[in-house]
Amino acid sequence: MERLDLSAYFRLPESTQPMELVYGVVREPPAPRYGHQSIVTRLTVLLDDHIRPRSLGQVCVSPVDVVLDEHAPLVVQPDVVFVARDRMTIVRDRIWGPPDLVVEVLSTGTASRDRTTKLAWYRRYGVGECWLVDVRAHSVEVVPLGRAGQRATFTGAAVACSTVLTEWNVPTEQIFT
């Protein structure tokens, strides 16, 4: 298995195919299913509708490279990413550092990895918060990673309590309608 450094990875042809660089090894999972992408789209719109009018920062949908570690090298592509206005300097051609919020929409093939490996990376490299969205359970698990707050799961009319988006007021069920 050939190992790549960041410059070799970034010279690969641009693609909408999901791809990550995991400590020098390219990982190319299959494209997500329609239901997964439908939730990603819906949540991106809801987040953007909340973030943009308040000038809180920017939200972006995958695939977008998030460079967590230049030297290891470790590049991930969360389903949705939010970077706060005062940290926008990390957004250039890619996101060079930990976002304030990442969202992983869980699927059968990724749920275990998202809940363990990727969550550990997000915590280690300083991501503020991760939302684990379970399509089957119609739930959002909010995991504060570097700030005060309790890990909690929200369903139905409950609003996900976020340490990053403190004014978020969208009932969880709206993500899944």
pLDDT at 1 over 70: no
Which residue in 164, 68, 45 sits closest to 117, CA to CA?
A: 68
Q: Which long-range contacts (CB under 8 A, 24 or more apart) does 112-119 make?
A: 118/76, 118/78, 119/143, 119/145
Please check the confidence at residue 166 and state whether its pLDDT lies above 80: yes
> pLDDT (tens digit, 9 = 90+) per residue, 65-115?
999 999 999 999 999 999 999 999 999 999 999 999 999 999 888 899 999
Per-residue pLDDT reduced to its tens digit, 121-137: 999 999 999 999 999 99
**Segment 61-66 mean pLDDT:** 94
Between 113 and 14, name the one with better pLDDT.
Answer: 113
Domains and CATH numbers, the chain: 33-176 (3.90.1570.10)
The pair of structure tokens assigned to 102 is: 């990442």
Of the chain, the percentage scoring pLDDT greater than 70 comes to 99
Instruction: Extract the runs of DSSP E, i.e. beta strands, from the chain.
Output: 20-22, 25-27, 57-61, 66-69, 74-76, 80-84, 95-96, 101-106, 129-134, 139-144, 152-155
